[in-house]
C-alpha cells in the first residue's frame, strides 16, 4: 500500500511537470482512477508544501511548488499559509487584521500567531496607512505600499505635509511668473532642478499642484501659445485675481459669524453690535 502511495505521489508530480501551466483535476482523475489513493497522495503533497492548488474558473488546478518557494514556506502551518495567501491577494493595498479575520474565518489569536510567524520570516510586513492613523495593514515584504496607503509624495511619516506643499506651490508660481508661459514638463523640470526637495515628485504631483493654483485663481490654464503647440496645456499668471476686498466684507456684517442670529431688537442686533462698535470707533 505504502509503495502504491509513493508511486502515486511520483506520478502526480510527473503529471504536474508535464502540465507546466497547471494540471487540471480532470486529467488527474483520468490518469489515477483510484480516488482513495489519489486523495491521500494530494493531501500528503499539500501538507509538505510541494503542491499548490488553484481554481481556474470552475476547475481545480494543481501545480508543483518550486523548491525555493517550498523552502521559504517550510514548516508553516496551513493556517499560516491561509493568512499568507490572503495577504498576497491584497497586493500593495495591504490588508487590515479585521479584514484578514473575515477573509480567513480564523480566530484572532490564530491570526496573530500566523502574522508573527510570517513577519519573523520576513515574508510580510506591517505598514501604517494615512487614511486611518492607528490602523496597520499587512502586505508582502517585497512590495512598496501604494499611494493610497502612504498618501503619495505629499505625506511625510503618514502626515500631510502642508508646509511642503505650500513651498512647492510658491516655487511653481514663481517660475510661471518669471517664465510668462510654461507647460507642465517645464515646470516639473525647473522645480526638480532647483533642488528644494529630496522627494521624488512625478508629473502627476505637479499636475495636482497646478490644479490647486488654478483653483486658487493664481494661474490660468490656456491651450498652447508662444513656443508651445496648440494642444498642450500651458499655464500663465492669472489676469484677474479673486478680489481681495468687497463692499460686503468691508463692513462687519460681511464677515459676521452670528449674522444669522442678528435681528433688529433681538439679542444680537445692529444697535447693540460690538463689531459695529469696534468698526466705528477706530
Partner 1 sequence: MATAFGRTLCCNLIQTHFGDVVERVVECLINRGPLAFGDISRYSELGSEAVKSSILVLIQHSCVQAFKVEHEGASATAPRRVVTYYVAISDNIFHRMRFPKFLVAVREDFGEEAESLVEGLLEHGRLTLEQIIQRTAAKAAKAEGEVANEVKETFTKLVTARFIERCPSPEPWLNQKDPRELLSKVARGASKVRGPVLSAEDIVQSEVVQRVIKAAAPLETQRFQLPVSMAGLGVSDSDSQMAEGSQASEKRKLEALEMDMKTAAAVDEKEVLWRVNFEEFLRKMRHQTCVDTVKTELDIGASVVLSAMLQATRKDETSVRQHHSVPLSMDGITQAVWSTPDGQHMPLERIRSSVQQLASDKIGYISRAGERAGPALGGNSYSVNMHNIIEARQKSEVEGIVLQRFGRECCRIFRLLVRKGQLEQKQIGEQAMAPKTVKALLYCLLKEQYVQVQEIARTSEHVARQSIFLWKADYQVVLHRVLDDLYHAATNLCLRHAHEIRKEQEVLELVDQLDARKDAGSDAHVTLTSDQQEQVKRISRITKILDVSLLKLDDTILLFHDF
Could you tell me the smallest distance in angstroms from the CB atom of residue 259 to partner 1?
A: 7
Distances (CA, A) of 246 to 174, 208, 250: 27, 30, 6
Burial tier of 52 (Cβ tally within 10 Å: 0-12, 13-18, 19+): buried
CA 92 to CA 7: how far, in whole Å?
41
| Binding test (CB under 8 A) with partner 1, winner from 71, 89, 203, 255 | 255
* Residues 130-159, interacting with partner 1 (CB under 8 A): 151, 154
Binding part of the chain for partner 1, among 56-64, 120-128, 196-204, 236-244 by CB under 8 A, reads 236-244
Binding part of the chain for partner 1, among 48-56, 104-112, 116-124, 214-222 by CB under 8 A, reads 214-222
Report which of 117, 107, 50 is spatially closest to residue 77, judged by C-alpha positions.
Answer: 117
| Binding test (CB under 8 A) with partner 1, winner from 30, 33, 243, 274 | 243
Could you tell me the smallest distance in angstroms from the CB atom of residue 272 to partner 1?
A: 9
What residues does 137 pair with on adjacent strands? 96, 127
Please, are residues 84 and 123 in contact by the beta-carbon 8 Å criterion? Answer: yes
Please, are residues 199 and 163 in contact by the beta-carbon 8 Å criterion? Answer: no
**Number of residues counted as binding partner 1 (CB under 8 A):** 37
CA 39 to CA 16: how far, in whole Å?
15
| Binding test (CB under 8 A) with partner 1, winner from 2, 35, 215, 274 | 215
Could you tell me the smallest distance in angstroms from the CB atom of residue 184 to partner 1?
A: 16
Instruction: Compose the 14-33 pattern: x for residues touching partner 1 by CB under 8 A, - for all others.
Output: --------------------
Any idea how long the chain is?
282
Chain contacts with partner 1 (rule: CB under 8 A):
151, 154, 160, 162, 165, 208-209, 211-212, 215-217, 239-240, 242-251, 253-255, 259, 262, 264, 269-271, 273, 276, 279-280
Amino acid at each position: 500500500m505504502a509503495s502504491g502511495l509513493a508511486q502515486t505521489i511520483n506520478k502526480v508530480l510527473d503529471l504536474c511537470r508535464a502540465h507546466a501551466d497547471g494540471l487540471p483535476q480532470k486529467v488527474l482523475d483520468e490518469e489515477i482512477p483510484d480516488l482513495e489513493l489519489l486523495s491521500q497522495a494530494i493531501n500528503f503533497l499539500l501538507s509538505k508544501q510541494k503542491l499548490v492548488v488553484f481554481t481556474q474558473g470552475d476547475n481545480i488546478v494543481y501545480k508543483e511548488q518550486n523548491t525555493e518557494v517550498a523552502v521559504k514556506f517550510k514548516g508553516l502551518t496551513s493556517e499560516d499559509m491561509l493568512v499568507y495567501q490572503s495577504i498576497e491577494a491584497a497586493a500593495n493595498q495591504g490588508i487590515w487584521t479585521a479584514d484578514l479575520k473575515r477573509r480567513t474565518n480564523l480566530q484572532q489569536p490564530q491570526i496573530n500567531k500566523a502574522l508573527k510567524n510570517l513577519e519573523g520570516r520576513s515574508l510580510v510586513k506591517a505598514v501604517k496607512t494615512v487614511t486611518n492613523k492607528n490602523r496597520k495593514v499587512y502586505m508582502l515584504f517585497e512590495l512598496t505600499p501604494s499611494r493610497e496607503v502612504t498618501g503619495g509624495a505629499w505625506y511625510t511619516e503618514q502626515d500631510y505635509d502642508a508646509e511642503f506643499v505650500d513651498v512647492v506651490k510658491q516655487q511653481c508660481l514663481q517660475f510661471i511668473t518669471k517664465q510668462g508661459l510654461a507647460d507642465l514638463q517645464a515646470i516639473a523640470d525647473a522645480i526638480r532642478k532647483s533642488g528644494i526637495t529630496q522627494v521624488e515628485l512625478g508629473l502627476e504631483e505637479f499636475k495636482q499642484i497646478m490644479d490647486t493654483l488654478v483653483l486658487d485663481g493664481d494661474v490660468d490654464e490656456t491651450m498652447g501659445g508662444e513656443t508651445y503647440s496648440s494642444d498642450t496645456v500651458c499655464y500663465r499668471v492669472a489676469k484677474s485675481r479673486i478680489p481681495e476686498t468687497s463692499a460686503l466684507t468691508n463692513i462687519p456684517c460681511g464677515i459676521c459669524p452670528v449674522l444669522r442670529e442678528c435681528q433688529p431688537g433681538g439679542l444680537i442686533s445692529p444697535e447693540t453690535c460690538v463689531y459695529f462698535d469696534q468698526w466705528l470707533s477706530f
